[in-house]
Amino acid sequence: MRNTWFKGFAPTLRGFLRDRSGALSPIFGLMIIPLTVGAGMAIDVGRAVSARHDLQDAVDATALSLAHLPTSTSQATLNADAATWLGAEATDKNLGPISANVTAANGQLTVSAGSTVATTIAAVAGVTSIPVSASSTVKWGLSHVELALVLDNTGSMSASNKLPTLVSAASSLVDTLSTTAGTDPTSLKISVVPFSMTVNVGSTYQTANWMTGSLPSTYGSDIFTTAGTDRFSLFTQLHQTWGGCVESRPAPYDVQEDAPVSTTPATMFVPYFAPDEPDTNGFYNSYLADGNTGTWQQRQGATAKYATAINKTGTNSSTGYAYGPNAGCALTPLLRLTDNTNHMAEVKSTLNSMVAIGDTNIPMGLMWGWHTLTPNAPFADGAPYNTKGIMKIVVLLTDGANQNTVNNNSDASYYSGDGYSWQNRVSGLNSSNQTTRDSALDARMTLLCNNMKAQNIIIYTVRIDVSGTAPAALKNCATNANDFFDVPNVPDLPGVFANIAGAIGQLRIAQ
């Protein structure tokens, strides 16, 4: 807009400057007017620039939201929704009424908006408002996202404020993605898988057709001396409720998404059941009297002793686990893929309920992350692979490396989702060498990541609060080198999650 006020003021100023008889004070008095107006214009322009940035952000968010609507959506609905979203997203109080226009052509949506910012001091010169406008063009029909948050909940996450920082950062990521989800509740689906050395799938699945109470012989050695022992029956006899945790399937199903079927017993899932360990020193989970008959392994696995309620309560000072068959199973149950209907309230509730306990078994957590995304059982919540407009993504965070701890007692390990090391559920776990055990889990993780990426699942990996070189298995698990994030300083995690949210947003547009 031209400053017409100055055009009229100019002749008067020229005439005054030609007058040699006056003093300086009248000159200053006249000069203060344009100086004041100029300063006011600068302030008003600054306000307009700020308002324009806000309007652009609102237009961008509106365009992304509209892009999730079906391509058959009427022009009237597009215009009405645009007005609604712009009204909600534009927050700068200096903006006047906003006019919006939506055009659709060649598979793209363009949202244009205009408004004005009322001036203050500049109004005395006849400049009452400054126009502002913004425009954004996006692909119509943005990719829908199925996202699994696979999050380390091991005991070490309780240190250095890691778990609260993770909860906050992950919640912000959810908020960012939800902002552009639009009115289609299926445009964004998120699952949450807290993991340690096991995963809690939820006790409600005890009667699911993919669960079996008895360890199939194809799993390998059982912890019980009586073949076919039903673990759910033992829980009942002990007056205990199954906590919901599960063991890992045996190879190759520990890194494959094959649907569980009873005709292939090794594909079925079995409940996590920490047995009563011998009463002698050196064991960690003795909660029943088992007498002194037989070898330590016979006393540990004798099913007859599980006929009465446990006689020990409390927590073991070495492991931090409560005594009993659910020892170590204090994890928050996973959340299956949930849509945007309730603004991700369920997702945030799950994040906020997470607790830190146990050792690190990344493959087990990542495998259940895959189970939440696959179209196959046990959940079958995911869309079929390679469905046009659907992206499957995993964000995996850990504060350490795979670990199966070597112990000095006869079991040689803690009970975990892989059972005991002597069961050799994973080849190499029966080694007495800590590095060999951990490397065995790394090898399974590498196979798992490759299998997932073969299905075009995008994987981001994050390591937090650890110095030194990151394990190759974790770095290489990421889809690309830039999709691995090393975060040695805990306060930097929110920024990394914000970057990941931004990257996912860009992928949605690019796809």
SS3 133: strand
Tell me the pTM: 0.78
pLDDT single digits (tens) 50-84: 999 999 999 988 888 787 777 778 899 889 988 98
Q: Which residues contact 310 (CB under 8 A, 6 or more apart)?
A: 238, 239, 240, 276, 287, 288, 323, 324
Q: How many helices (H) and strands (E) does the chain have?
A: 11, 11
Q: How many Å apart are CA 250 and CA 120, to the nearest integer? A: 73
Which strand ranges, in their side-by-side order, compose the sheet holding 129-139?
Answer: 99-105, 108-118, 129-139
Q: Is 185 exposed, middle or buried (0-12, 13-18, 19+ CB in 10 A)?
A: middle
CB-CB neighbours of 341 under 10 Å = 10
Confidence at residue 16, expressed as pLDDT on a 0 to 100 scale: 39
Which among 424, 421, 391 is positioned nearest to 503, based on CA atoms?
391
Decide if 247 contacts 415 (C-beta within 8 A).
Answer: no
SS3 362: helix
In the numeric block, which tokens belong to residue 241? 């409720």
Report strand pairing: 484-487 vs 458-464: parallel
Q: DSSP E strands: which ranges in 225-377?
A: 245-246, 335-338
Confidence at residue 280, expressed as pLDDT on a 0 to 100 scale: 81
Q: How many Å apart are CA 283 and CA 407, to the nearest integer? A: 9
Alpha carbons within 13 angstroms on the beta-carbon side of residue 394 total 34
Count of residues in the chain: 511
User: In this structure, what DSSP letter does residue 348 have?
Assistant: H
Confidence at residue 147, expressed as pLDDT on a 0 to 100 scale: 97
The CA-atom distances, in angstroms, between 345 and each of 33, 176, 338, 502 are: 57, 14, 10, 21
Decide if 134 contacts 55 (C-beta within 8 A).
Answer: yes
Measure CA of the first residue to CA of the last residue in the chain; give whole Å.
Answer: 41
In the numeric block, which tokens belong to residue 323? 């005594």
Q: How many Å apart are CA 269 and CA 172, to the nearest integer? A: 34
Stretches in the chain below the pLDDT threshold 70: 1-40, 122-125, 141-142, 180-183, 292, 343, 508-511
The CA-atom distances, in angstroms, between 387 and each of 390, 438, 455, 471 are: 6, 37, 11, 33
Decide if 440 contacts 427 (C-beta within 8 A).
Answer: yes
The CA-atom distances, in angstroms, between 510 and each of 139, 180, 487 are: 8, 15, 27
Confidence at residue 312, expressed as pLDDT on a 0 to 100 scale: 87
Confidence at residue 365, expressed as pLDDT on a 0 to 100 scale: 98
Q: What are phi and psi of 315, to 5 degrees?
A: -130, 140
Confidence at residue 69, expressed as pLDDT on a 0 to 100 scale: 77
Which residue, chain included where needed, has tokens 């298995």?
473
Identify the sign of the CA torsion 464, 468, 472, 476.
positive
CB-CB neighbours of 312 under 10 Å = 14
Q: Which residues contact 382 (CB under 8 A, 6 or more apart)?
A: 146, 337, 372, 373, 374, 375, 392
Domains of the chain (ranges, CATH numbers): 4-139 (no CATH), 156-193+329-407+428-433+440-510 (3.40.50.410)
Confidence at residue 6, expressed as pLDDT on a 0 to 100 scale: 39
Task: Give the bridge partners for 200, in sequence order.
Answer: 245
User: In this structure, what DSSP letter does residue 465 have?
Assistant: S
In the numeric block, which tokens belong to residue 193? 């898988």
Question: Which helix (H) or strand (E) covers residue 12, if one does?
Answer: helix 4-18
Q: How many Å apart are CA 188 and CA 205, to the nearest integer? A: 25
Decide if 362 contacts 254 (C-beta within 8 A).
Answer: no
pLDDT single digits (tens) 479-503: 999 999 999 999 999 999 999 998 9
Decide if 439 contacts 428 (C-beta within 8 A).
Answer: yes
Confidence at residue 388, expressed as pLDDT on a 0 to 100 scale: 86
In the numeric block, which tokens belong to residue 403? 């670990």
Decide if 481 contacts 403 (C-beta within 8 A).
Answer: no
